[in-house]
Amino acid sequence: MKRECHIKKEAKLKKPKNSVAETVAEYQAGRRKTMSSIGFTYWQDGEMWLGYLDEFPDYMTQGTSLADLKEHLLDLYKDLSSGVIPNVRRHAQLQLK
């Protein structure tokens, strides 16, 4: 008799993405070699810092300090660029001939 082995295929689980703080810590620790950048516009209004990513001007966020605002902007970029938020409007440059 031939013996057959039936193995259930396990669904591949996506590894959860690092939090912004973990990602920044990895860059600071040198575990990631390069970190790209994105422009943002910000200002202080009273005690709050407000800003938006230049590529996504329709999506503003705020923070209690400039560092806090930057962390919120990183979270926002992660959400906007990952597809979590549908129908994202972007700002871009058009080259004129």
Secondary structure in 3-state letters for 10-22:
CCCCCCCCCCHHH
Q: Classify the C-alpha dihedral 82-91-75-85 as positive or negative.
A: negative
Selected residue with higher pLDDT from 5 and 89: 89
Q: Mean pLDDT, to the nearest integer, of 12-21?
A: 49
Q: Mean pLDDT, to the nearest integer, of 80-85?
A: 90
Q: Mean pLDDT, to the nearest integer, of 63-87?
A: 94
Q: Mean pLDDT, to the nearest integer, of 29-57?
A: 86
Domain boundaries, the chain: 38-92
Q: Mean pLDDT, to the nearest integer, of 21-25?
A: 58
pLDDT at 13 over 70: no
Cβ neighbours for 32, distance < 8 A, ≥ 6 positions apart = 23, 26
> What pTM did the predictor assign?
0.62
Q: Report d(CA 21, CA 12) in Å as an integer.
A: 26
